[in-house]
Amino acid sequence: MKFSVSDDSDKPKYEQLKTQIRSAVYSGELTEGQALPSLRRLAAELGVSVLTVARAYDELADEGIVRNEQGRGTFVALRSGEVLRRRLLTKTRENLEEACAAAQRADISMQELEQMLAEIYADIEQQRLG
């Protein structure tokens, strides 16, 4: 798995890294128990501070996505994909509830809302695939 960060992004580098690791876990590219690169190695590869990588790893550990083992390294947590999926489902539902409420206030029909959702989903999928 190759990670990258950009100075041009509006997101901090540790956040860019967290997002990539989460996505890799969720997609199955990183599997339960798999070791992540060491802090120093990944920092050198990305051209960032060790503290940047440590912050990303620590925050992912707080979320239950990875686990840090003293003297051994950082590993994808057991059941992390399941935990992440549940959190994403909850967040998606909350966002959809908010969007539906706004659509009703704007008198947007269900058909119009479904069309908007399909377009947005397709646009995001296109961006993800390159």
Tell me what pLDDT residue 80 has.
67
The reply to whether the predicted model has a pTM over 0.85 is no
DSSP H stretches of helix in the chain: 13-27, 39-46, 50-62, 80-105, 110-129
Q: Find where tokens 């399941």 sit.
A: 82
Indicate the domain borders of the chain. 13-78, 81-129
Query: Stretch 93-120: mean pLDDT, rounded?
Result: 96
Quick: pLDDT tens for 54-74. 999 999 999 889 999 999 999
Quick: pLDDT tens for 2-48. 999 999 999 999 999 999 999 898 888 999 899 999 999 999 999 99
Cα–Cα distance measured from residue 57 to residue 66, given in angstroms and rounded to the nearest whole number: 7
From the options 3.30.390.50, 3.90.1150.220, 3.50.80.10, 1.10.10.10, give the CATH code of 13-78: 1.10.10.10
